[in-house]
Structure 1
Amino acid sequence: MSSLQTLIFYATPEHDCSYLEGKKATTMFVDPRAKINKDLYSKLSVLGFRRSGNHYYRPHCGQCQECIPIRLPVNSFTPSRNQKRNLKKNIGIETSITPPEFYQKHYDLYEKYIIARHSDGDMYPPNEEQYRSFLVECNPGTFFLEFKYKGELIGVSVIDELIDGLSSVYTYFDPASSDRSLGVFSILWQIEECKRRALNHLYLGYWIKNCRKMEYKTLYKPVEFLINGQWTLYNPDKTI
């Protein structure tokens, strides 16, 4: 089994940034041949790495430090009024955990979601091979969370369990259910699931100050940013 001391890392050539127009990005990847267990994955997460399929990565841009790892200390979380309203709105939703396998009903929902919501992104057009490599190929601690309303599947979240928390990998849903804000509902569910499992943190990926797609992550309070190697409580009044 690999360890932090034995891992080999690779950096990609510069490419167009997916989040900031006109910016170039470089990504650092863990050697895909490395064997990553929950303990090592947890240590990588504390260092700001994320998982996509069987790849573990983090931004490694020489001239830009805009991508900041973000996590939520769940035991300090206090829901806002809007978040409480979201919970009330979704009282009728049933949730269930399933193994991380390929389900045709999941893929059909994913395809519908990408076409409707991300036709301008690098996941469009969706296809089964891309879906499998992105979400079905996973870590041993991965599970799928299904959202159903009146027996119909309306959303899925892909979640990883770490030593100290959960990592929110991806959520997709039926565009016809957009008014339910299932992305918000999923995060609120994951916060409570962390507490049920006696885990301290929910890892939310990266936050970028000037990216509107990332703004929602600081609506869960309090959150911590990884800055200069230290997890620090976010202070909206302090310049980052």
Structure 2
Amino acid sequence: LVLSRPFYRKDGSCGYCKHAPKGDAYALRSIEKAARAVDAEPPSSTSMGFHAYQFSPDMYDRLIQLGFRRSGHFTYKPDNLRNCCRMYTIRTSDVPNTKEHRHAVNRFIRNITGSLETKKNLLFSLAKTLTAGEARADPKRFYTRFGPAAFSKEKYDLYRRYQQHVHQDREISEKGFKGFLCDSPFDTLELDEEFWEVLNGRSSGKLASFGPVHECYYIDEKLCAIAVLDVLPSGISSVYFIWDPAYASWGLGTIGGLREVALTQRLGLAYYYLGFYIADCHKMKYKAKFGGEILDLATYEFWALKDVSVKLQDGRFATLVESATDETVPLGEFRLDYGSYAPQRHELTSGQARDVSENVYGVGRNAYTKAERFAAKLSLEYGLKYYNEHNNPLYVTKDQDEEDEGKHMTTLPFVVPGILPLWQV
């Protein structure tokens, strides 16, 4: 295990909202009201993390359960109280059999086989239909291959075309591609021949090792898409998916997601991880079509997205409970259990989820005064440096922003959803 020291980072750019003005950039309405009263700077991309130079897939699997995500060697989780976008870990074990998904599968099969089996199937299975369709296709027309997450000029050229066409990205480099989609902290020497045989469907054995892979898609023997995946003990984590703009009408992004859910099931793994879900970001909210669950960082519980989507749709921060909690009653930070690294799934019994984020994290709530009291106590007991200046900033004033201009590493606030409360230390 080789890691950098952890750090808390504010960034001037956000890859999701691009810092476009939006009314829900503030996590809570009470924070927005207080910030606007002093003409504060709008929220920016804010996260905490570390550089991981070497750790195991099992360790990363545990971190995903706690809301972390990796980009190359950088492993991070958002501060959803201060970030400009609310980001929730999302996972699924199955995909809703929707009309949109059935159309996507049928269109794809027609494209690779030239026809569609006409017999009616009242129990239409997305995974079985995809598998059967691919089996009927001429291997020269369509096939995929799993291989190492390694750089090649062919892969980079496809990535460059995709970024330029789909994301209008102009700052593209081989170094950036390698750092984002090839580099990882995992020991890939453990990925033996049996690992690749199982992934490529040539062996029915069980996976004995885990790590990063590229699944390359070929149409007419030309590379047309790449699925960048982490194969982990609890499931498949989707890192990124790239497709050739020439095949935009094929819906390869949707097909890729459906195939990865099917792969998760074939390998006998529990979950397909889709990264972060952002309800008010058009590039990220499509993940809701895959159903599944989102992680509440404040309580470390997974909630079915169908049960809580209405609480997330305005882009504000949500802390979820199942009760008739009075919204005027202050609550403290919830106790977090890191012991199992396995958040519980919350099953609704009363039929309604409630958002108590203002009760817990609203301006002036008890969480902040309690955290400051325990910070002072820890400082006295252990000789820790006590940061008493801007230690709980829910927003940044313009004079503070000018002082910090060019500085990205700042002090970890006393209260952050998903970080162990100071009173639990």
TM-score norm. by structure 2 comes to 0.51
2:160 aligned to which of 111, 120, 125: 111
Q: 1:132 to 1:79 in 2, by over 3 A?
A: same
1:100 aligned to which of 133, 141, 149: 149
Displacement after TM superposition at 1:187 (Å): 0.5
1:30 aligned to which of 50, 53, 75: 50
CA RMSD of aligned residues (A): 2.0
Q: Secondary structure at the match of 1:177?
A: helix
User: What residue is the counterpart of 1:50 in the other structure?
Assistant: 69
Distance in 2 separating the partners of 1:32 and 1:97: 24
Distance in 1 separating the partners of 2:310 and 2:280: 15
Distance in 1 separating the partners of 2:288 and 2:279: 10
- Say yes or no: does 1:183 pair with 2:253: yes
Conservation of the 8 A alpha-carbon contact between 1:168 and 1:205: yes
Displacement after TM superposition at 1:8 (Å): 4.6
TM-score norm. by structure 1 comes to 0.88
CA deviation vs aligned residue, 1:91-131 (integer Å, no higher than 9, x gap): 32322111111111111111111111122x5xx32111111
- Say yes or no: does 1:233 pair with 2:304: yes
Counterpart amino acid of 2:226?
V
Alignment of 1:123-138 (within 5 A): 124-138=170-184
Distance in 2 separating the partners of 1:13 and 1:237: 28
CA deviation vs aligned residue, 1:13-56 (integer Å, no higher than 9, x gap): 343333232441212112435x3101100001111111111111
Q: Secondary structure at the match of 1:94?
A: strand
Counterpart amino acid of 1:52?
S
Q: Is the radius of gyration larger for structure 1 or structure 2?
A: 2
Q: Secondary structure at the match of 1:62?
A: coil
Q: Secondary structure at the match of 1:190?
A: helix
Q: Tell which deviates more after alignment, 148-157 or 83-92.
A: 83-92
Q: Secondary structure at the match of 1:90?
A: helix
Conservation of the 8 A alpha-carbon contact between 1:10 and 1:31: no
- Say yes or no: does 1:208 pair with 2:285: no
- Which is strand-richer, 1 or 2? 1
Conservation of the 8 A alpha-carbon contact between 2:51 and 2:73: no
Displacement after TM superposition at 1:158 (Å): 0.2
- Say yes or no: does 1:154 pair with 2:224: yes
Distance in 1 separating the partners of 2:223 and 2:108: 14
Distance in 2 separating the partners of 1:62 and 1:8: 23
1:199 aligned to which of 266, 269, 275: 269
Q: Equivalent pairs: percent with the same residue? A: 26
- Say yes or no: does 1:68 pair with 2:88: yes
Q: Tell which deviates more after alignment, 157-166 or 95-104.
A: 95-104
Q: Secondary structure at the match of 1:231?
A: strand
1:13 aligned to which of 7, 10, 15: 10
User: What residue is the counterpart of 1:164 in the other structure?
Assistant: 234
Distance in 2 separating the partners of 1:160 and 1:216: 21
Conservation of the 8 A alpha-carbon contact between 2:80 and 2:86: no
Q: Secondary structure at the match of 2:279?
A: coil
2:290 aligned to which of 202, 207, 220: 220
Distance in 2 separating the partners of 1:180 and 1:30: 38
Distance in 2 separating the partners of 1:30 and 1:204: 21
Distance in 1 separating the partners of 2:309 and 2:240: 29
Conservation of the 8 A alpha-carbon contact between 2:4 and 2:52: no
1:78 aligned to which of 96, 111, 116: 96
Conservation of the 8 A alpha-carbon contact between 1:79 and 1:220: no
In structure 2, list runs of 5 or more residues that go unmatched. 22-42, 113-141, 189-210, 313-425
Distance in 1 separating the partners of 2:171 and 2:80: 27
